[in-house]
Amino acid sequence: MGCAALLWGWLLLGCSWGPGLPAVGAAALSTTYVLDDAGGLGRQFDGIGAVSGGGATSRLLVNYQEPYRSQILDYLFKPNFGASLHILKVEIGGDGQSTDGTEPSHMHYANDENYFRGYEWWLMKEAKKRNPKIKLIGLPWTFPAWIGKGENWPYDYPDVTAYYIVSWILGAKQYHDLDIDYVGIWNERAFSSKYIKLLRYTLDKHDLQQVRIIASDRLWEPISFVLLLDSELHGVVDVIGAHYPGTKTVPNALLTKKKLWSSEDYSTFNDEVGAGCWARILNQNYVNGNMTSTIAWNLVASYYEELPFGRCGLMTAQEPWSGHYKVEAPIWITAHTTQFTQPGWSYLQVDGHLEGGGSFVALTDGLGNLTIIIETMTHNHSQCIRPPLPHFSVTPQRATFNLKGSFYMVETLQVWHSRLGFESGNSSLFQQLHPVKVWKGSFSLDLNMNEVYTLTTLKTGQKCGYPEPPPPQPFPSNYKDDFNIRNPPFSEAPNFADQTGVFEYFINASDPGDHVFTLRQVVVQRPITWASDADQTISLIGNFQWVNMTVTCDIYIEKQHDGGVFIAGRVDSGGIYVRRTKGVFFWVFADGTYRVTGDLAGEEILMKGLSGVRDNAWHTLTLNIQGTSTSGLLNGYPLWENVTISEPSNGWAAIGTRSFEFAQFDNFHVEAS
Ligand SMILES: *[C@@H]1O[C@H](CO)[C@@H](O)[C@H](O)[C@H]1NC(C)=O
Ligand SMILES: *[C@@H]1O[C@H](CO)[C@@H](O)[C@H](O)[C@H]1NC(C)=O
Ligand SMILES: *[C@@H]1O[C@H](CO)[C@@H](O)[C@H](O)[C@H]1NC(C)=O
Ligand SMILES: *[C@@H]1O[C@H](CO)[C@@H](O)[C@H](O)[C@H]1NC(C)=O
Ligand SMILES: *[C@@H]1O[C@H](CO)[C@@H](O)[C@H](O)[C@H]1NC(C)=O
Ligand SMILES: *[C@@H]1O[C@H](CO)[C@@H](O)[C@H](O)[C@H]1NC(C)=O
Ligand SMILES: *[C@@H]1O[C@H](CO)[C@@H](O)[C@H](O)[C@H]1NC(C)=O
């Protein structure tokens, strides 16, 4: 590990650029801004965070070998190291598709409880280990079917839903010693006032008064309007969380006097434009929209890049097989705010729009510390994925700050600087410059475009790093998993990315020997969905670029009569698009038939016949795809051959089931090119 406190090679002396730097034109703007706490402070700051989940966005992270996995976690969570996040928001897995995969529920069935599934528990513990003060948020995207008793709706039995969510919070404490700080309602879907009140009641009944409620993780309305009408609801909702607010709020939200958060934002490809987006909204969500927390979707891009919203994380760690990861620019943009503020600090009351375009915010701990964050992102270089960004312009400018009130006595400020260079490649990220001298409460800065400055009384900032991780490598072209060697504490086999259903390690102690340790699909009823989950279950693995491959897997159908499983290759889609997945699917059914289809839905039938496969017996399937020709083997003997395919030309391997049904898989092997 190395932490650079080294000074950038050029000087920021008092108030002007050193020689050789682009001169600010004679016509440049020069404006004075007053920072004063004498008339009271602005809103309390609640922190900067990121989402793991919504869905399965940290899937591949858990499979990284040490030391790389810990390094990635340090870049995200360790204070004064990298992103130093204040908040971790995780998905409360609900067995359904939530964007890039499914995450397992702690209660697949009404009589089931298990607080060791998935990886969000582990991630929360790793975050807490590094920063005991990090705030934790849980939010469901989907719910297991039993919550709705068959209806695709979580509010018909609000007491059941509240019990389910509160169980998750209690389980976090009981099994992992994690205190959940905030809980949400239903991501980007309807809320129910009755349910929210019952959730508060149920939390209180279990001595969870300290857990705050965020509603409703969608738009500002209708929640704000309803809060103004319903005083009981107003009494139980602590935070209004809106998604992708475009830095704006609405009058009703302000009228509620609630904390306003951008509880999901960013979602942008993590290049420098993504960094520009993030820098702009981190400031302007407060400056334009009075929001006191901004939470990025997503924390770390740890899912196959060809799934929807590939690389929309603050950094990238999508290759556990090579150990390669990349600390992207948004990590260092985050550090500009997170390393020099804490939840509980307050914004100063000041209009943070810069005269020449761009913005600033100023925050204090109320103990004399001051942090000013300035951004001058241009329109073209700071667009987020949504909403559309109205045009604005930014010009070089001189900004003079007059510090008054408690800050009049500040003599020097530490200076941290980033410049996004874009096409020029001339970027510098989170570099410490010479401290600026404050003369009688005043200092000036010449601001250019696409820069971020932090000026702060805190001397604790650090840009830390590790040696370069190993170079990128494609997914191994010969990959086997017999599911015998497990990766505790995880419930899922490495690199399998469930897209509908949940595939878990399973132990059958009464098996005579060959199939004690298997992988089992365990979702047996369509969950309360958030996306268009398929009617079949499917888990992907491998390299999206694979063209030719041989996939072999032992399979065990548990559902009698109409049960069925498949293995597949050239699988071309997943995530929220899972229903329209194409590929080459080799199915066998409990009724003794087989099929070859060109799609997951099973509508495009390429071949069918008898196989002799039955339920509750192990069989070995092999699928061979070479060029336009495919063939299938059962227990090592040809079952069908020379089925011609043209599309798709490439894709992942996969396993899955015909419906929401139990089935097992063992001795998975893929060899591909
Ligand atoms: C919201 O922010 C604006 C702009 O900074 C400010 O004028 C206004 O007083 C704030 N309103 C509330 C209710 O915080
Ligand atoms: C600023 O913060 C530091 C670290 O939290 C603290 O020790 C100090 O008392 C604060 N106030 C001033 C004026 O530095
Ligand atoms: C912004 O981007 C658009 C489209 O790429 C381009 O036409 C325009 O010239 C750009 N403007 C600036 C100021 O770079
Ligand atoms: C990069 O920017 C710095 C500061 O503006 C300047 O000194 C340097 O010459 C630039 N380098 C290139 C390669 O443009
Ligand atoms: C476990 O193995 C036994 C013996 O082979 C078999 O009868 C039983 O069906 C298996 N159970 C499951 C759930 O696979
Ligand atoms: C796939 O197999 C076909 C037929 O054997 C061959 O022509 C093609 O070069 C192979 N492609 C790759 C990427 O291996
Ligand atoms: C496969 O099909 C092609 C085209 O229909 C045919 O030319 C070839 O002989 C067939 N191969 C086998 C092994 O059946």
Write the pLDDT tens digit of every residue in 67-115: 999 999 999 999 999 999 999 999 999 999 999 999 999 999 999 999 9
Q: Which ligand is nearest to the CA of 369?
A: 2
Whether the pLDDT of residue 387 is over 60: the answer is yes
The packing angle between helices 329-338 and 272-287, to 10°, is 30
Q: What is the pLDDT of residue 2?
A: 64
- In this predicted structure, the answer to whether residue 18 has a pLDDT above a threshold of 50 is no
Half-sphere exposure of 515 (CA within 13 A, CB side): 18
Q: What DSSP designation does 480 have?
A: E
Ligand nearest to the CA of 626: 6
User: If you measure from the C-alpha of residue 201 to the centroid of ligand 1, how many angstroms do you get, rounded to a whole number?
Assistant: 32
Instruction: Note whether 32 and 351 are within 8 A (CB).
Output: no
Q: Tell the burial category of 138 from Cβ atoms under 10 Å away from its Cβ (0-12, 13-18, 19+).
A: buried
Domains and CATH numbers, the chain: 46-342 (3.20.20.80), 478-672 (2.60.120.560)
Active site residues: 188, 264
Q: Helix axis angle, 120-130 relative to 68-77, nearest 10°?
A: 70
Query: Is the shortest distance between the CB of 560 and ligand 5 below 6 Å?
Result: no
Closest CA to 531 of 102, 120, 104: 102
Instruction: Identify each DSSP E strand in 41-112 by its residue range.
Output: 47-52, 87-92
For the stretch 211-230, pLDDT in tens is 999 999 999 999 999 999 99
Q: Is the CB of 629 under 6 A from ligand 6?
A: no
**Helix (H, G, I), strand (E, B), or coil: what is residue 337?**
helix
Q: What is the mean pLDDT of residues 129-137?
A: 98
| Mutation pick for ligand 4 pocket among 11, 16, 426, 448 (CB with most ligand atoms within 8 Å) | 426
CA distances for 613 relative to 345, 556, 621, angstroms: 65, 10, 10
Q: What is the mean pLDDT of residues 332-353?
A: 98
Q: At 1, is the pLDDT very low, low, confident or very high (cuts 50, 70, 90)?
A: low
How many angstroms separate the Cα of 311 from the Cα of each of 302, 317, 330?
8, 9, 12
* Distance in angstroms (rounded) separating the CA atoms of residues 451 and 429: 10
Band (28; pLDDT cuts 50, 70, 90): confident
What the block records as the tokens of 181 is: 């700080």
CA–CA gap between residue 359 and residue 288 (Å, rounded): 10
Q: Which of 78, 96, 139, 196 is nearest to 466 (CA)?
A: 78
Per-residue pLDDT reduced to its tens digit, 163-195: 999 999 999 999 999 999 999 999 999 999 999
Round to the nearest angstrom and report the end-to-end CA distance of the chain. Answer: 37
Residue 296 corresponds to which tokens in the numbers above?
A: 């990025």
Q: Which of 506, 507, 508 to mutate to test the pocket of ligand 5 (most atoms within 8 A of CB)?
A: 508
What are 461-477's pLDDT values in tens digits?
999 999 999 999 999 99
| 361, 372 contact by CB (below 8 A) | yes
Position 99: which residue type?
T
Closest-lying ligand to the alpha carbon of 631?
Answer: 7
Token look-up 């898989």 returns 665
Q: Is the pLDDT of residue 16 over 50?
A: no
Tokens 């919070």 sit on residue? 169
Nearest CA to ligand 1 atom 12: 254
Q: Dmax of the chain from CA atoms?
A: 89
- Averaged pLDDT for residues 512-516: 93
Nearest CA to ligand 2 atom 4: 458
What are the Cα distances from residue 397, in Å, to 284, 427, 446? Answer: 18, 20, 6
Task: Give just the sign of the alpha carbon dihedral 606, 611, 617, 623.
Answer: negative
Distance 625 CA to ligand 7 centre (A): 14
Residue 303 structure tokens: 């899912």
Output DSSP code: residue 439. Answer: B
